Amino acid sequence: MAISVFSHASFVYTGEGIVNKEGRMLVPDDVSAIADGAIVCDSDKILWVGKTSELPAKYKKVKAMKLKGKRAIMPGLIDSHTHLVFAGSRAHEFARRCAGTTYQEIANEGGGILTTVKATREASIEQLFELAIKRALIAYRHGVRTIECKSGYGLDHESEIKCLKVIEHLKKAIPQMTFVSTYLGAHAIPPNVKKAKYIDEMIHQTLPEIKKKNLAEFCDVFVDEGYYSHQDGERILRAAKKLGLKTKIHADEMGNTESAHLAAKLEAHSADHLLKISNKGIAALAKADTVAGLLPGTAFYLKEAYAPARKMLDAGVRVAIATDFNPGSCYSLNLPLMMNLSALHMQMNSAEIFAGVTYSAAASLGREATKGALLPGFDSDFVVLPYDRFEEMYYRMGW
């Protein structure tokens, strides 16, 4: 296999300190920056990382890409929470909402999520793919190399399966990116259907077909006031686990339902949002492997108070940062912008922010043994930044 060498990077950020601490209680030095660094890889795995001056003789024969001390190398960014697959635009609703119409008024007129559900159901798989691939490539340009993508705008068996198939097509179309697919049938209650009937459909029809056709790795449920209850969430996720799927929860966003606690109890890979997490929820996550997936772009977009990140981090919770890209509450694929919001509004230090889009994001997707750090044996998955320090990524707001 062909070997590649990158040398004289201003810094190679290996993230080794973060890996050693499993993403908890991080201090800035845990990014493990190697000044004047080099990295050696083949097309599959990282073979060697260290100082350029210590490059082993056998790799000196390979023509190196010399970065002249001007560019830094870090693990490929991981956006661990997106709703990438949907059709339709809600730009007109956004403008009305900003002018004072409430979300509830728009929803009562059949707008909001129902606008997206209608458009997604009507779209062909080809149309959904065309939209999704453009979005994935925007994420790529922001340094994202692994992206989690949820279904959840079909809200019936056939349309949810269609959206998951789009993600399968993305995997083949962009092999430079890793796509992790999540079934979020329980995103909302479908229009004109009883919740109990829909839950039965998810458990007895959709989840078994997903398993049979290997269409998703994760199952996610929106547990919140007016959506799926704690009990509903537990039932759906236990059914998914029984089939071998991993789990996630949209937790404690609009109200507190102790769904972070449920996520820890079910050993979910992540509990996401957490704007209204309780102290009990924080204590449960601190003891668990469940990662807190924080989505500051959504709080910003909805003008809500940010998740209590500092409190979680100081309690020893592992925190990932993601875009939550979706048509209603965060129409952005700019992960570095989310890093900026995390620094400004969630008081996260540089290693916490770094881990949020690398190691901890990988852990929330069950990929921490191969992604999110630059160590021998990890995937050859890194970005050469156009900057000499990774902090430039989030110092530049929304670039």
Residue 76 CB, shortest distance to Zn ion, in Å, is 22
Within residues 314-353, the interface with Zn ion by CB under 5 A covers: 324
**Can you read off the two tokens belonging to residue 320?**
């990932």
Q: Shortest CA distance to 145 belongs to which of 388, 354, 357? A: 357
Closer CB to Zn ion, residue 72 or residue 274? 274
Residue 118 CB, shortest distance to Zn ion, in Å, is 19
Q: Shortest CA distance to 213 belongs to which of 148, 172, 179, 164? A: 164
Closer CB to Zn ion, residue 156 or residue 324? 324
Closer CB to Zn ion, residue 142 or residue 187? 187
Hey, which residues does 244 pair with through a beta bridge? none
In DSSP notation, 13-52 reads E--HHHHHTTT-S--GGGG-EEEEEEEEE-SSBEEEEEEG
Closer CB to Zn ion, residue 202 or residue 330? 330
Structural contact between residues 133 and 166, judged by C-beta atoms closer than 8 angstroms: no
Closer CB to Zn ion, residue 187 or residue 371? 187
CB-based contacts of 134, cutoff 8 Å, min separation 6: none
CA 293 to each of CA 76, 183, 216, 361: distance values in angstroms, whole numbers, following the listed order: 18, 17, 19, 8
Which H or E run contains 195? helix 195-201
Strands (E), 261-362: 270-273, 291-294, 319-321
- Count the Cβ atoms, other than its own, within 10 Å of residue 255: 12
Closer CB to Zn ion, residue 266 or residue 295? 295
Number of residues this chain uses to bind Zn ion (CB under 5 A):
1
Closer CB to Zn ion, residue 73 or residue 263? 263
Closer CB to Zn ion, residue 61 or residue 303? 303
Residue 223 CB, shortest distance to Zn ion, in Å, is 12
Residue 32 CB, shortest distance to Zn ion, in Å, is 31
What residue is closest to Zn ion based on CB? 324
Residue 265 CB, shortest distance to Zn ion, in Å, is 21
Residue 361 CB, shortest distance to Zn ion, in Å, is 14
Tokens 């949020």 correspond to what residue?
356
Residue 92 CB, shortest distance to Zn ion, in Å, is 22
Residue 95 CA to its chain's centroid (Å): 27
Hey, which residues does 222 pair with through a beta bridge? 250
The mark string for 277-316 relative to Zn ion (x by CB under 5 A, - otherwise) is: ----------------------------------------
Residue 40 CB, shortest distance to Zn ion, in Å, is 38
Closer CB to Zn ion, residue 17 or residue 293? 293
Strands (E), the chain: 4-13, 33-41, 46-51, 65-66, 73-75, 77-79, 144-150, 178-186, 218-223, 246-251, 270-273, 291-294, 319-321, 382-384
Residue 325 CB, shortest distance to Zn ion, in Å, is 9
Question: How far is Cα 352 from Cα 343, in angstroms, rounded to an integer?
Answer: 9
The residues of the shown chain that bind Zn ion, judged by CB under 5 A, are: 324
